[in-house]
């Protein structure tokens, strides 16, 4: 199916055009400035290409899979073509299944629900909560934070070797869950090496690619992972869509993630008054209900846009931005960039840091209110990792602090700046300048804590 629109421009721009690039925001000190969106790790702005594709399809919107009308058939084709496009983007194997979900979190919870009985899960404590927490109903081994990629591989090797020694050959399945790029430090993890160790010990591996896929190509076959999960809203597509792609056998054997229409192939009444259900063994098994067609289409559109732009070009430009940020922050002695693997570790456009003498919430609020720069502060849904990185670093509260810490704990939080294919050079330049000015001169405005957030004090 092809949707025609004259509005689409397939030329590659640097940076890629995104929604919101011309939005202006007020400054507490007076005037307005173009908003600098530097919180891509939370949600990247939608690509203009994606928005235009969705707008072109919207008049043809129809029900999926169960309609005889033209628009329904057109929407069904678009939905299934989107599945094929994303599978190609991920370089899936021919017999892999690709399930559309709501998010990375939803994808990993789906996989957790599909684990075979007695499955043991191995996960590093450094994971985002989306990949740290879904395994509560399985036997989980939490692995300590490694301080080098080699140590990560060695830690997993020891854990799996201990497991292998304690079970009979072929008994008890195992799963390793690992991130591709940290949502806190941006550092790349040795996924290929971890996959090799997992498979050598009879375990499978799922890759949380939420932070990796927007920045680097992800090949299921090259990395040799069994599943990959990611979210549309980090891949320059609107909210509410995600992907789980990989081995079909555990998904086919599991009870449907949701019970309902679309997941069932045949439903019949029994003589005792109950019902018998025959479930699909395709991806539809875990896609009950009316699917998010626009969400799936927007992910596919983003995959095409990134592929056409060329990851070599995108990665090269992003590395220039990373270098610019790191060099700028290095000129400020009060700033410490957080890292597990060291300063030379390769990373995507995600960096977290703390500033001596500042609570991070206060610093982030000043960046927003006085410079129009949007960053993130806190623990970034990776509490064990950030606590590990900040555990020995008390922070001065200043006028405005983070929410109260638990008894006996310090108030710990950090600042995260993140960017990608849609980030203009000017936004990065403004950020570096703002950090230097705030550290040198202090905030120009007074701030207070309101409902756990640091906000400008406008009461005077």
Distance set, CA 380 to CA 306, 322, 339, 446, 460 (Å) = 26, 20, 14, 25, 32
Contact 176, 203 (CB under 8 A): yes
d(CA 19, CA 53): 13
Q: Give 306's contacts (C-beta < 8 A, 6+ positions apart).
A: 89, 214, 235, 236, 314, 421
The distance from CA 6 to its chain's CA centroid, rounded to whole angstroms, is 32
Contact 232, 292 (CB under 8 A): no
Active site annotation includes 119? no
Instruction: Residue 172: name the closest of 122, 236, 221, 230 by CA.
Output: 122
Active-site position among 13, 92, 381, 454: 381
Other beta carbons within 10 Å of 220: 21
Residue carrying structure tokens 């090259």: 222
Q: Give 127's contacts (C-beta < 8 A, 6+ positions apart).
A: 177, 178, 179, 208, 382, 385
d(CA 329, CA 431): 10
d(CA 373, CA 446): 17
Other beta carbons within 10 Å of 89: 22
Helix (H) or strand (E) holding 420: none
What is the DSSP code (8-state) at residue 382?
-
Active site amino acids: 381
């Amino acid at each position: 199916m092809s949707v025609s629109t004259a509005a689409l421009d397939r030329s590659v721009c640097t940076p890629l055009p995104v929604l919101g690039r011309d939005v202006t925001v007020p400054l507490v000190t007076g005037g307005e400035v173009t908003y600098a969106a530097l919180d891509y790790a939370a949600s990247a702005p939608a690509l203009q290409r994606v928005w235009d594709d969705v707008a072109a399809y919207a008049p043809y919107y129809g029900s999926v899979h169960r309609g005889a009308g033209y628009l329904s058939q057109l929407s069904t084709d678009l939905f299934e073509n989107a599945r094929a496009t994303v599978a190609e983007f991920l370089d899936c194997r021919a017999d892999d299944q690709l399930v559309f979900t709501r998010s990375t979190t939803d994808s990993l919870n789906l996989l957790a629900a599909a684990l075979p009985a007695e499955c043991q899960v191995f996960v590093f404590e450094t994971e985002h909560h989306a990949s740290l927490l879904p395994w509560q109903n399985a036997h989980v081994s939490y692995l300590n934070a490694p301080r080098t990629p080699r140590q990560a591989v060695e830690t997993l090797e020891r854990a799996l070797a201990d497991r292998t020694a304690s079970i009979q050959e072929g008994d008890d399945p195992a799963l390793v869950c690992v991130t591709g790029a940290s949502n806190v430090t941006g550092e790349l993890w040795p996924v290929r090496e971890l996959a090799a160790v997992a498979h050598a010990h009879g375990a499978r591996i799922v890759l949380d690619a939420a932070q990796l896929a927007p920045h680097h190509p992800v090949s299921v076959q090259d990395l040799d992972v069994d599943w990959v999960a990611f979210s549309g809203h980090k891949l320059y597509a609107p909210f509410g869509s995600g992907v789980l792609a990989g081995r079909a056998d555990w998904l086919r054997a599991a009870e449907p993630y949701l019970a309902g229409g679309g997941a069932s192939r045949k439903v019949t009444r029994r003589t005792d008054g109950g019902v018998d259900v025959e479930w699909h063994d395709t991806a539809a098994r875990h896609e009950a209900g009316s699917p998010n067609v626009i969400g799936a289409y927007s992910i596919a559109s983003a995959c095409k846009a990134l592929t056409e732009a060329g990851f070599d070009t995108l990665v090269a430009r992003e590395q220039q931005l990373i270098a610019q940020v790191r060099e700028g922050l290095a000129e400020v002695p009060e700033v410490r960039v957080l890292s597990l693997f060291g300063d030379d570790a390769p990373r995507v456009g995600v960096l977290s840091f703390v500033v001596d003498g500042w609570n991070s919430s206060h610093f982030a609020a000043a960046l927003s209110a006085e410079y129009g720069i949007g960053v993130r502060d806190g623990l970034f849904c990776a509490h064990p990792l950030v606590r590990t990185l900040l555990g020995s670093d008390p922070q001065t509260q200043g006028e405005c602090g983070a929410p109260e810490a638990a008894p006996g704990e310090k108030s710990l939080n950090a600042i995260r700046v993140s960017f990608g294919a849609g980030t203009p050079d000017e936004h990065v330049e403004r950020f570096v300048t703002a950090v230097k000015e705030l550290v040198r001169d202090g905030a120009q405005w007074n701030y207070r804590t309101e409902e756990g957030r640091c906000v400008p004090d406008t009461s005077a």
